[in-house]
Amino acid sequence: MRALKLPSFIVTLGTFFVLQGINLAGTKLFTGQVAIQGFSDVAGFYNVQWVFGSWTQFGGFTLQVSAVWWLC
């Protein structure tokens, strides 16, 4: 029975936001912070940053590599 007659996309999106809030609150409760510290110390960080987080020339424009990945 669909008493509220809400679109399934809206219900899914709302559920995602609720779960994201619970995740954020739980992380803040257990660790006291939500920022990741020392991430650049992880082995291979700079290699991955170069592939996904750097800037590149593409068609005469300077774009972030993630935008080029999106265009492909």
The number of residues in the chain equals 72
Asked whether residue 62 is domain-assigned, the answer is yes
Q: Does a structural domain hold residue 37? A: no
Gap between the Cα atoms of 27 and 37, Å rounded: 13
Q: State how far the Cα of 15 lies from the Cα of 37, in Å rounded to an integer.
A: 28
Is 42 within a domain?
A: no
Which band of pLDDT confidence, cut at 50, 70 and 90, is reported for residue 20?
very high
Q: How confident is the model at residue 1 (pLDDT cuts 50, 70, 90)?
A: very low
Nearest-angstrom CA–CA distance, 52 and 70: 11
φ, ψ of residue 66 to 5 degrees: the values are -60, -30
Whole-prediction pTM: 0.48
Bridge partners (DSSP) of residue 55 are 64
Residue 14 lies in a domain: yes
* pLDDT classification of 66: cutoffs 50, 70, 90: confident
Residue-number span of the structural domain to which 62 is assigned? 8-32+48-71
Is 17 within a domain? yes
Query: Number of structural domains, the chain?
Result: 1
Tokens of 65: 């590599």
Tokens of 32: 């006291």
